[in-house]
Amino acid sequence: MKKYSILFLIIGLGAMVLFTQKVTLPLVYDVVKSDAFLIDSKDQGGQLPIANSMTEMAFAHCNNYIKSEFDDRSSLTFSDKPLNSWSLGNYEYVINAKATITNDSKAEAKKYACRIAYKNGDDLSGAADIANWSVEGIDGIEGL
């Protein structure tokens, strides 16, 4: 048995590669081609930065969320507009902006990124309500 162990290893690896190529990969390609993961939404994502009413709402809600997470000893000042904003599709946005945080008379400018999603899909009537949004994450500001 010991002298055939290398042979069994090679045969086993060959069988595993063959099974992956002939069975697993065609199945994965069929699932990817199907509509199983298709989300039908009017909001299409893109690689280029955009500015529209929904990105403005997302920017405002991100700023309000950041303000609510800081204590009363800190003063926050946000820029009027985001540096960039992207739509990921299906009403999910990434907002890149700048904030000035003042603690104990020490001001520090921070750039941050906020990922936020609108929960109501194509029904934009509740976009102004923060309860219809969920902040997925913030990066660039310590403590959040």
pLDDT band at 144 (very low <50, low <70, confident <90, very high): low
Radius of gyration of the chain measured on its C-alpha atoms? 24
Q: What is the pTM of this model?
A: 0.72
- The per-residue pLDDT for range 61-84, each reduced to its tens digit, is 999 999 988 877 788 899 999 999
d(CA 18, CA 26): 12
What single-letter amino acid sits at 47?
A: Q
pLDDT band at 1 (very low <50, low <70, confident <90, very high): low
- The per-residue pLDDT for range 34-62, each reduced to its tens digit, is 877 777 777 778 888 999 999 999 999 99
Lowest mean pLDDT among 17-26, 70-79, 93-102, 127-136: 70-79
